[in-house]
Amino acid sequence: MNFWPKAAGLILRNRYVVLLIIALITAFLASQTKYMKFSYTEANLLPEDHQANLEYNKFLEIFGEEGNLVILGVKDTTVFTPEKFNAWNALVAKFDQKEAVDFTISIADVQKLKADREQKKFVVAPLFEKKPTTKKQVEAIKKDLFENLPFYDNLLYNKETGTLQTAIYIKKELINTPKRRDFIFDDLIPEIEKFEKENNLDVRVSGMPYIRTLNAQNIQDEILLFVLGALGITALIFFFFFRSFRATFITLLVVIIGVIWAFGFIGLFRYEITVLSALIPPLIIVIGVPNAVFLINKYQQEIKKHGQQAKALQRVISKIGNATLMTNITTASGFATFVFVKSDLLREFGILASVNIISIFILALLIIPIIYSFMPIPKKKHLSHLETKWIENVVNWMEKMVKNQRITIYFATVLVIVLSIIGVYKITVSGSLIEDMPKNTDFYKDIKFFEKEFGGIMPLEILIDTRKENGVMKLSILKKMEKLNDIIETFPELSKPISVVNLVKFSKQAYYNGNPKYYQLPTNQEQSYIFSYAKNSNSDTGMLKTFVDTTGRYARITTFMKDIGTDKMDVIQERIKTVIAKEFPADKYTVSLTGKALVFIKGTNYLIKNLVISLSLAILLIAVFMAWMFRSPQMILISLVPNMLPLLITAGLMGFLNIPIKPSTILVFSIAFGISVDDTIHFLAKYRQELIANKWKVKPSVYAALRETGVSMFYTSIVLFFGFLVFTLSSFGGTIALGGLVSVTLLLAMVSNLLLLPSLLLTFEKKIANKKVFKEPKMRIFPPAEDPQDN
């Protein structure tokens, strides 16, 4: 195949033009980074036409964004002193004046409903009109709120612990825009910090807009950490192996340009930066360095053999170009399988990763030989690593194991498979929105505070369609809704629900002069005159529109979830759906459970179902590559086994270490498989070359391939191991798990490819070591004819 020698000549003859083209592309992609933007919504893991998305969009169409609530909480007895009590109300009043805030609900906003007998309507009166000046006045307000206004229980206070809560509703049209971030960082946080300092109170803050904003900021901060960490650790390891500042500098230059391209592609494609796309730049560093290892290693080997720079550079491109192309294609294929998943989040990740992997290959293949062409020939000290004793000892040990301990290798393999299968059965599934969030941050601790005090912060909505205008206000419907409320209250994982039922109960209490024992639904006899009072009143319209749409056809029941897994949520859903099926027959009503958290949980389950498809597709794609390159069915099977084994071990480890399957850890398998196959391709390509040279004698061919490729495979695996280990510096649990699991999987893949693969080749030598089985390859990875000094 003459392509690569011609390509080598073209690249080296036109090196200035090539560098200029790279510089122009880099400048263009750098200009595209201005279009990068961070995601202001949670990742939607489901296809747009999925039933859960359709139900959620229907809810948003009727009631608008449900995740626009920021909550403040304070648990301190001293808040019920005049100074602190008034300061707390003043703080909320400040927020109420902010442009981004729709309205607030706090103690100062509490309205008492009263029945006006003359006008036959309900009127509202504030809980208190003047600022309290004495402790006695504050205690009186507290008693009135806690004992006489059950409507606000779990909404503004926790009667048992004395905790106060304030609700701040951000304008719905701003909730998914940068203005939300501005409000959180420029208004909310500074005002709260000032209040805490002045009043010596600990204010807890939560709610989905607040959590999402701080989470996005963490992602933004970690991109720089990952990029610098990946650059630092890979450069350090690279220098340790090559002992050359020159080689290290060239490698860093290649991956830095690769990182600029990675950010540029995000901007060019107009993708948002999410927790997944934030991994692309450091991922490109980690994957790009092994390309440099193979290219520079080959260049130095050639220089050591004949000392001719031009010849060495030409051979680097012509002999390593095809091999690195194939390995990068297989790696890109592992990522590209996500393109076929219907989740936009994973599709974008797959497109970005595969495009950037091919880009970093092109950059390495062009830049490394060209820059070396401007430099003097490496000195003897730069080539000393090629004769490192400890590396030679490692290769000798591997050869000894394959030669003498194949039974031990097979026994260990079977034992590991059995243990891994046991571990697989222990794997759990998690669909939590907040599980991956940093556990040591204040905002995570605040989430747990509100879970304990008020039952959770993630909204779960029940949308009820009565199919009739004003159907919601029928007493029969309200009673059915109350039964749903009752079942929700039995779950410790859910907060007390709030709906129009609470408001109607509040109305009856008001009708009976505010007596809290009448906080209940009216009887059939009471409903006519209590509802007539309500119709004559305009005072509750604002509250009513929160729970019922303008036509009176749709109602919502809102509760808040704790951070629970998919298993518990499935149980809760089934019990609620059972009550819904009984109380709201499907032929008369349409009732759906929805909410952002529930959509996310369903998205996780959807992804897990698609994981098998995605991974199977990756295996099939790579098997097709192997078939096309080696044209041997037996070789496909033998090559896949050593790469499937590490995936099984990783799945087993996830079970034993209690690492659940979730959107972040799902990626491990496709990523690790795509990368680990690279070693197999390098080994088998060299093995086939040696087979021809050794006249189809398997043993000398296996040992020669092991010695030749073992060092580079060891180098690249160590770089990849520590490179992915950088992700464990993250504060996100999913990213930590992803980094750790991929690192371990790739290390296991190296061991498997250097011990199990050659063992299998030796064991099945009679079946594969002949020209009929191992046909002339469709594409040669390494040239078959090399002069003696190349071997």
pLDDT per residue as tens digits for the range 743-775 = 988 888 888 988 998 988 888 766 655 555 555
Evaluated on CA atoms 145, 146, 150, 156, the torsion sign reads positive
Q: Which of 599, 627, 657 is the last residue of a domain?
A: 599
Q: Given this model, what pLDDT does residue 336 score?
A: 83
Same domain for 470 and 417: no
Same domain for 654 and 542: no
Give the whole-angstrom CA distance, residue 356 versus residue 332.
Answer: 9
In a domain, 430, yes or no: no
- Reported as a pLDDT band with limits 50, 70 and 90, residue 356 is very high
- Dump the DSSP string for 143-192: HHHHHH-GGGBTTTEETTTTEEEEEEEE-GGGTTSHHHHHIIIIIIHHHH
Q: Given this model, what pLDDT does residue 338 score?
A: 79
pLDDT at 620 over 60: yes
Q: Given this model, what pLDDT does residue 8 score?
A: 85
In a domain, 403, yes or no: yes
**Cβ(172)–Cβ(65) under 8 Å?**
yes
Mean pLDDT, range 362-369, rounded to an integer: 93
Same domain for 417 and 294: yes
Mean pLDDT, range 478-507, rounded to an integer: 91
Same domain for 277 and 145: no
pLDDT per residue as tens digits for the range 293-323 = 888 888 888 888 888 888 888 888 887 777 7
Same domain for 649 and 771: yes
Higher pLDDT, 55 or 216: 55
Count Cβ atoms below 10 Å from residue 656 Cβ, excluding itself: 14
Q: Given this model, what pLDDT does residue 630 score?
A: 65
pLDDT per residue as tens digits for the range 176-226 = 788 888 999 999 999 999 999 999 999 999 988 888 888 778 877 888 888
Per-residue DSSP letter, 440: T
The reported pTM is 0.76
**Cβ(484)–Cβ(498) under 8 Å?**
no
Q: Given this model, what pLDDT does residue 285 score?
A: 86
- Reported as a pLDDT band with limits 50, 70 and 90, residue 675 is confident
3-class SS of residue 411: helix
**Cβ(343)–Cβ(46) under 8 Å?**
yes
Question: Nearest Cα to 195, choosing from 222, 172, 224, 166?
Answer: 166
Count Cβ atoms below 10 Å from residue 667 Cβ, excluding itself: 26
Tokens of 95: 């927020």
Same domain for 753 and 689: yes
Same domain for 761 and 650: yes
In a domain, 274, yes or no: yes
Q: Given this model, what pLDDT does residue 478 score?
A: 92
* CA 759 and chain centroid, separation: 38
Residue-wise burial string across 104-133, b where 16 or more C-beta atoms lie within 10 A, e elsewhere: bbbbbbbbbbbbeeeeebbbbeebbeeebe
- Reported as a pLDDT band with limits 50, 70 and 90, residue 7 is confident
Q: Given this model, what pLDDT does residue 629 score?
A: 65
Mean pLDDT, range 370-386, rounded to an integer: 77
Same domain for 228 and 153: no
Q: Given this model, what pLDDT does residue 184 score?
A: 93
pLDDT at 669 over 90: no
Same domain for 231 and 365: yes
pLDDT per residue as tens digits for the range 519-531 = 999 988 888 878 7
In a domain, 630, yes or no: yes
101, 113, 239, 576, 721 from 539: Cα distances, Å: 21, 9, 74, 33, 65
Q: Given this model, what pLDDT does residue 785 score?
A: 43
Same domain for 388 and 366: yes
Give the whole-angstrom CA distance, residue 108 versus residue 387.
Answer: 79
pLDDT at 421 over 80: yes
pLDDT at 392 over 80: no
Mean pLDDT, range 51-64, rounded to an integer: 89
Same domain for 649 and 583: no
Residue 305 maps to which CATH number?
A: 1.20.1640.10
Q: Which of 554, 584, 599 is the last residue of a domain?
A: 599
Residue span of the structural domain in which 269 resides: 3-42+213-425+600-790
Mean pLDDT, range 669-681, rounded to an integer: 79
Q: Given this model, what pLDDT does residue 383 score?
A: 65
Q: Given this model, what pLDDT does residue 390 score?
A: 73
Count of domains forming the chain: 2
- Reported as a pLDDT band with limits 50, 70 and 90, residue 788 is very low
Count Cβ atoms below 10 Å from residue 639 Cβ, excluding itself: 24
In a domain, 351, yes or no: yes
Give the whole-angstrom CA distance, residue 504 versus residue 356.
Answer: 59
3-class SS of residue 528: helix
Question: Nearest Cα to 661, choosing from 451, 483, 426?
Answer: 426
Tokens of 341: 């998943």
In a domain, 433, yes or no: no
- Reported as a pLDDT band with limits 50, 70 and 90, residue 540 is very low
Residue-wise burial string across 371-392, b where 16 or more C-beta atoms lie within 10 A, e elsewhere: bbeeeeebeeebbebeeeeebe
Mean pLDDT, range 612-635, rounded to an integer: 73
629, 631, 636, 715 from 778: Cα distances, Å: 5, 7, 14, 29
Q: Given this model, what pLDDT does residue 25 score?
A: 96
> Rounded mean pLDDT of the chain?
84
In a domain, 432, yes or no: no
3-class SS of residue 558: strand
- Could you list the beta-strand ranges (E) of 12-145: 37-38, 69-74, 101-105, 111-116, 121-126
Same domain for 174 and 58: yes
pLDDT per residue as tens digits for the range 259-287 = 999 999 999 998 888 777 888 888 888 88
Evaluated on CA atoms 124, 125, 127, 131, the torsion sign reads positive
pLDDT at 256 over 70: yes
Higher pLDDT, 176 or 646: 646
In a domain, 47, yes or no: no
Q: Which of 569, 599, 629 is the last residue of a domain?
A: 599
